[in-house]
Amino acid sequence: MWRYLITCGVLLACCLPATPAMAAAEDPRFPSPVDLCTLLTEDAAGKVVPQARRPKGEYAGLESMGCRWVRKGVALGLSVRAYPHESGMAEEPWTHTAAEAHLAFRYLLNGRQRPSRLIIWSANDIGVDFEHRRSATSTTARPLAGIGEEAFAYSYLDKATRRENRVFVVFRVGNLILEVDHVAVENSSRAGTLLDRAAGAAKAAAKTLDRLSPPPQSPPADPPEGTFTSPPLGCGLLTKAQLGDLGVTRDPWPRENCGCDWPDQLEVRFWLFGPGPAGDGPAQAAEVFAAWRTESGGQPLAGSGDEAFTSAGEERVAIFRLGNVIGRVAAVSSSVDEAAAARMIAVAAERSDG
């Protein structure tokens, strides 16, 4: 029964505790800020930005810190990201656990499941001032293996040149979420792609961090077969065509626990169960599902995960269980069919990387 473990090797998420409920107490691996300029050797940074100006560490308050190597038209930035939250607030990473960082990482990944609309950017330190600002759209996230404990990349596709001229690699090492931001405005004859160079820098930084504070000796045990280690990424489960079939046209917004909102049209929420009073994760999820069905008096719904029902109330809601995950699909718009949406989402979740 490997259906939920399809892409463990891609995101390495299967080796990680997925929620605080599944995580043992632990101290943060990085309890105080690190000078990011020391994470890359001159050689490593020089592979990305040859003859870069010597960087100065920036430490702009406790929420953001970074280092940047620049010369005209080219830059390599390395920064620690605060944990995002759906309220718009962000939290410093220093007092948090790797499990909490994993959730924050998944939140970021969930928010990069669709290409963006127009982005306008400038960077004075490499000569792209406001007068020469660039217009771009960003790509969807691509998972990357072998960088920290989990990583993904996305790029800016320049409107004028139709070329990728800025790449971001987001990666997690313990309780830190870091970001490499590599810009090369003009075409160059250098070997390798922008992504290769950015990923190389990210990998080197992750290795230095591992030396500064080694990962735990005994990694968490593999989860039982048939269990999710993270909720599926709600904003990326349905294709554009499927969303079109459902009548969903809005841009997705990530929510906590990998949920997703298409404002005024469709909402998806997930709950991931670890072992609880009822037994293992699937048993616990099954017990909660049964209580939910009893309390709501809903009608069974076929073809949506292991079991599902549609709510009997005024709300147009379908609830499904898939292993140790419960999903709630709410049709906010009267034109959206919640049962059809739940079926599509459950099928996609079963194939997903959670």
Partner 1 sequence: MADLTRLLLGMTLLVAACAPGGLPARQTPAPTPVIGQTPASSSVTGQASGPARFARPPSPCALITAEQAAGLVPLLVGHQEGGEEQARVCTWTGPDGPYLPDSSRYELRVQVRHSPQVADAENVFKSWSDTFATSPRDVPGLADAATAFDRRVDDAAETGVGYRASNLVVIIDYIRRGPLDQRMRDNAVKAARWTVARLDAPEPQPDPNAGRFAGPPDACPLLDPSDRPGQAGPECTSDDVTVRVRHVPARGTTPGPTAAKELFELLAAQAAGGVGTSDEPRTDVTVSPVKRVGAVGEAAFTQEESGYTIFGSPTRITLWTRVSNLVVEVEVAGEGRKVTPELRRRAVTIAQQVVRRLPGG
Selected from 11, 12, 23, 80, the binder of partner 1 by CB under 8 A is 23
87 forms part of the interface with partner 1 (CB under 8 A): no
73 forms part of the interface with partner 1 (CB under 8 A): no
Selected from 42, 59, 124, 224, the binder of partner 1 by CB under 8 A is 59
Calpha distance 112→87 (Å, rounded): 17
Calpha distance 248→109 (Å, rounded): 21
Calpha distance 176→213 (Å, rounded): 12
CA angle 152, 158, 160 (to 5 degrees): 170
CB of 271: closest distance to partner 1 in angstroms?
Answer: 6
- Residue 255 is encoded by which pair of tokens? 């929510």
202 DSSP assignment: H
Q: How many residues bind partner 1 (CB under 8 A)?
A: 41
224 forms part of the interface with partner 1 (CB under 8 A): no
Query: Binding segment for partner 1 among 77-85, 221-229, 230-238, 281-289 (CB under 8 A)?
Result: 281-289
342 forms part of the interface with partner 1 (CB under 8 A): no
68 forms part of the interface with partner 1 (CB under 8 A): no
Dihedral, 69, 75, 78, 81 alpha carbons, nearest 10 = 140
Residue numbers 290-329 binding partner 1 by CB under 8 A? 291-292, 294-296, 328
Of 156, 168, 163, give the one whose Cα is nearest residue 186: 163
274 forms part of the interface with partner 1 (CB under 8 A): yes
Query: Binding segment for partner 1 among 40-48, 113-121, 158-166, 267-275 (CB under 8 A)?
Result: 267-275
Q: Give the DSSP H/E element, type plus range, for residue 107.
A: helix 98-110
Query: Would you say 200 or 354 has its CB closer to partner 1?
Result: 354
Calpha distance 168→123 (Å, rounded): 15
31 forms part of the interface with partner 1 (CB under 8 A): yes
219 forms part of the interface with partner 1 (CB under 8 A): no
Calpha distance 329→299 (Å, rounded): 15
CB of 277: closest distance to partner 1 in angstroms?
Answer: 6
Query: Would you say 27 or 131 has its CB closer to partner 1?
Result: 27
CB 293 within 8 A of CB 286: no
CB-based contacts of 46-50 (< 8 A; 24+ apart in sequence)? 47/197, 47/200, 47/201, 48/74, 48/76, 48/182, 48/197, 48/198, 48/200, 48/201, 49/74, 49/75, 49/76
104 forms part of the interface with partner 1 (CB under 8 A): no
Query: Would you say 24 or 118 has its CB closer to partner 1?
Result: 24
117 forms part of the interface with partner 1 (CB under 8 A): no
Q: Please report, as ranges, the residues that interact with partner 1 according to CB under 8 A.
A: 19-25, 27, 29-35, 56-60, 65, 212-214, 269, 271, 273-278, 284, 287-288, 291-292, 294-296, 328
